Amino acid sequence: MAKSKKTSVDRRGFLKGAAAGAAALVAKPELASAQQAAAPNRGANGSAAEPTQVALARETGGRPAESSRVIEHPGSDYMVDVIKSLNIEYLAANPGSTYESLHESLINYGDNKMPEFLTCCHEESAVAMAHGYAKIEGKPMMALIHGDIGLQHASMAIYNAYVDRVPIYMVVGNHSDGARRNAGVQSLHSAQDLGALVRDYTKWDDEPLSLGHFAETAVRAYNIAMTPPGGPVLIVCNAEIQGDPIQGPTPRIPKLTLTTAPSGDLAAVQQAAKLLIDAERPQIVAQRMARTPEGMALLVELAELLQAPVNSQERMNFPTRHPLAGTGWQGYQPDVTLSLEVGDILPQARTDRSRGAKTINITAVSLSHKSNIQDFGHYADIDLDIGADAQATLPALIEEVKKELTADRKRALQARGVKLAEAHKKAWDDQILQAQYGWDSSPVSLARLSAELWPLIKNEDWSLVSPQGFIGNWPNRLWKFDKHYQYIGGQGAGGMGYGAPAAVGAALANRKHGRLSVSIQTDGDLNYAPGVLWTAAHHRIPLLTIMHNNRGYHQEVMFVEEQAALHNRGGDRSHIGTKLWDPNIDYAKMAQAYGMHGEGPITNPDDLVPALKRGLEIVKKGEPAMIDVVTQPR
């Protein structure tokens, strides 16, 4: 363990700061007495023996007015050593006293101040940032969370990441020892079993009782988060372990060895290869498949061997302009479907069954179900269910296909490939035609927005860091995606409020690679927790946010209209409870208020390109910027 650098000079600074804190108290006597009543005394680690003046200064001025206690080597210093051993690059946090000792160690202890500490305005933002980051970088970032209250704020984002099978490394503070915590916030913000709040949708959680236990848990948690199917993990970190001095030699930090991903049983893989080779019209549906860039290369190889169309969803796993991208020619009725990491297999399996087609499923999710949350969907009777990570299984499947493919069959498949390539080209041409509808309309069409943006970024090293479901999938339909980091996919569990922070997290991951991050941001989503814009500005995270400002929760407008039709009533009141107008939200001002360039609202489509260019210039200089565009609903 590296030695603490605390010196006598530090100590003098400590006392000077304490005096300033006390002076602030004198200036606000009413505050002091109110807090005296509300906050009982506590020691650095929750002991009830600290003088009132010290406790008050802690609550208001930050440092105690006087204290005889100095903890030279708190447990949290060792925790930082453990965390650094995992090479976690960033942590996102909204501050809170349940992890105050760890917070201080993270920012002050040791020479190398990794991981970088990102200040967040909401715990949901911290976790969703980690979600977006992991989808680009393929590894977890840390979210540091304050007690039961912070964890409740974080829960929506945790749930999204859980369903999306994305690794997130979460540490939450807690005052576990009932005898040592005080009766105020330390009790209110603590729990007997804190992990229980989110256990239904975290992959694993633990509450270590000693530093040695923390070290094992911390390394194990990282491994569990990364083992496919990935997921968020939670370490409940007691204030006592953080703040108590380290006694004796520190425990050894275990070595991290990642568990290999499970690959499919060979007999089942051979059966799958045969079904796919013999199929007349196979299709591949790739959803959460491709954890790394190699995943995309493997899928391309398999598709080309089989000459099968690939319907890519939720991840950047197949190039959009590849001749096999898509769902085949018009009327292409698959007789065998290969599903790769598909969340809810039933719709596909039911369609396949209805036409006598066969379904093959490869997913590691079947190996790790939980009970309460129903994200596993319906039970589907499929023909071949391979419980394994799809990416890890593809090399064996490719080998088997190569072995079984005769020259005759290869020729037949090539002929199908020619037809599929024609269908792909036709589909592209159709998209370009469709994008022209409403080209000059105001509000601006999403097709035009996407089409105008493309030439401005296509020669850059770009990355789309926002979902596409609510923007008509226009980028997918018009742009050429061919790199693994060019798209981050959707929310996971459909929880709104993911888009804005996930974009910032993904842009953070892109920053060190010098990539240009662009987000087409829906307005309803941003308004859950817009403070993440400040985080982007404060930490100089380059990101162009283009508001898809349809002034409402349009998905819900459509639902209410559908119900009105079902109930045989008019839809003229469907805006009630669903629109964000009167007053219109001024996103340019919002961006400016949070400290970044903001302009708009753009209503004339001809003003779009100059504004996008200005925004891109700023982003290329390393800053975030926002362009507000008033858009068609979808």
**Can you list the positions of beta strands (E) in 364-461?**
384-387
Q: How far is the CB of 79 from ligand TPP (least distance, A)?
A: 33
* Parallel/antiparallel/unpaired status of strands 310-312 and 336-340: unpaired
Residue among 522, 511, 502 nearest 168 (CA):
502
Compare residues 63 and 554 and give the one whose CB is closer to ligand TPP: 554
- Binding test (CB under 6 A) with ligand TPP, winner from 340, 364, 496, 629: 496
User: H-type helices in 46-183, by residue range?
Assistant: 52-60, 75-85, 100-108, 123-137, 147-164
From 184-192, 358-366, 505-513, 520-528, span contacting ligand TPP (CB under 6 A): 520-528
Q: How far is the CB of 91 from ligand TPP (least distance, A)?
A: 24
**Can you list the positions of beta strands (E) in 511-565?**
516-522, 544-549
**Contact code string over 104-133 relative to ligand TPP, x by CB under 6 A:** ------------------------------
- Using CB under 6 A as the binding rule, the residues of this chain from 554 to 593 that contact ligand TPP are 554-556
- Binding test (CB under 6 A) with ligand TPP, winner from 186, 363, 468, 522: 522
Bridge partners (DSSP) of residue 74 are 245
Bridge partners (DSSP) of residue 144 are 93, 171
- Binding test (CB under 6 A) with ligand TPP, winner from 77, 124, 525, 623: 525
- Using CB under 6 A as the binding rule, the residues of this chain from 38 to 97 that contact ligand TPP are none
Task: Provide φ and ψ at 119, rounded to 5°.
Answer: -80, 125
Q: How far is the CB of 493 from ligand TPP (least distance, A)?
A: 9
Compare residues 150 and 499 and give the one whose CB is closer to ligand TPP: 499
Give the Cα separation of 284 and 301 in Å (integer).
12
Q: How far is the CB of 495 from ligand TPP (least distance, A)?
A: 5
How many residues touch ligand TPP under the rule CB under 6 A: the total is 16
Compare residues 363 and 550 and give the one whose CB is closer to ligand TPP: 550
**Can you list the positions of beta strands (E) in 254-412?**
282-286, 310-312, 336-340, 358-363, 384-387
Q: Determine the residue type at 125.
A: S
Q: How far is CA 526 from CA 273, 591, 608, in A?
A: 45, 11, 21
Bridge partners (DSSP) of residue 463 are 517
Compare residues 231 and 495 and give the one whose CB is closer to ligand TPP: 495
CA atoms within 13 A on the CB side of 226: 19
- Binding test (CB under 6 A) with ligand TPP, winner from 523, 599, 623, 628: 523
Does residue 524 touch ligand TPP according to CB under 6 A? yes
Give the Cα separation of 543 and 233 in Å (integer).
28
Give the Cα separation of 355 and 309 in Å (integer).
18
From 338-346, 375-383, 385-393, 552-560, span contacting ligand TPP (CB under 6 A): 552-560
Give the Cα separation of 605 and 587 in Å (integer).
17
The H or E element containing residue 619 is: helix 608-620
From 241-249, 340-348, 551-559, 585-593, span contacting ligand TPP (CB under 6 A): 551-559
Give the Cα separation of 462 and 153 in Å (integer).
32
Two structure tokens written together for 290: 């491709």
Two structure tokens written together for 425: 């080209």
Q: How far is the CB of 342 from ligand TPP (least distance, A)?
A: 21
Q: How far is the CB of 435 from ligand TPP (least distance, A)?
A: 18
**Residue tagged 């987000």 (tokens):** 519
- Binding test (CB under 6 A) with ligand TPP, winner from 133, 201, 553, 587: 553
- Using CB under 6 A as the binding rule, the residues of this chain from 443 to 472 that contact ligand TPP are 470
From 363-371, 398-406, 538-546, 553-561, span contacting ligand TPP (CB under 6 A): 553-561
CB 520 within 8 A of CB 147: no
- Binding test (CB under 6 A) with ligand TPP, winner from 417, 495, 501, 505: 495
Residues shown for the chain: 634
CB 519 within 8 A of CB 591: no
Compare residues 18 and 493 and give the one whose CB is closer to ligand TPP: 493
Q: How far is the CB of 163 from ligand TPP (least distance, A)?
A: 12
Q: How far is CA 66 from CA 12, 15, 29, 53, 63, in A?
A: 12, 7, 19, 8, 9
Give the Cα separation of 16 and 32 in Å (integer).
20
- Binding test (CB under 6 A) with ligand TPP, winner from 95, 494, 514, 577: 494
CB 509 within 8 A of CB 89: no
From 81-89, 124-132, 301-309, 522-530, span contacting ligand TPP (CB under 6 A): 522-530
- Binding test (CB under 6 A) with ligand TPP, winner from 155, 242, 550, 574: 550
- Using CB under 6 A as the binding rule, the residues of this chain from 143 to 202 that contact ligand TPP are 156
Q: How far is the CB of 560 from ligand TPP (least distance, A)?
A: 11
From 308-316, 395-403, 444-452, 489-497, span contacting ligand TPP (CB under 6 A): 489-497
CB 100 within 8 A of CB 58: no
Give the Cα separation of 83 and 86 in Å (integer).
5
From 443-451, 519-527, 568-576, 603-611, span contacting ligand TPP (CB under 6 A): 519-527
Q: How far is the CB of 195 from ligand TPP (least distance, A)?
A: 22
Compare residues 433 and 576 and give the one whose CB is closer to ligand TPP: 576
With CB atoms as reference, the residue minimizing the distance to ligand TPP is 524
Under DSSP, the state recorded for 106 is: H
Residues that bind ligand TPP (CB under 6 A): 156, 470, 494-497, 522-525, 550, 552-556
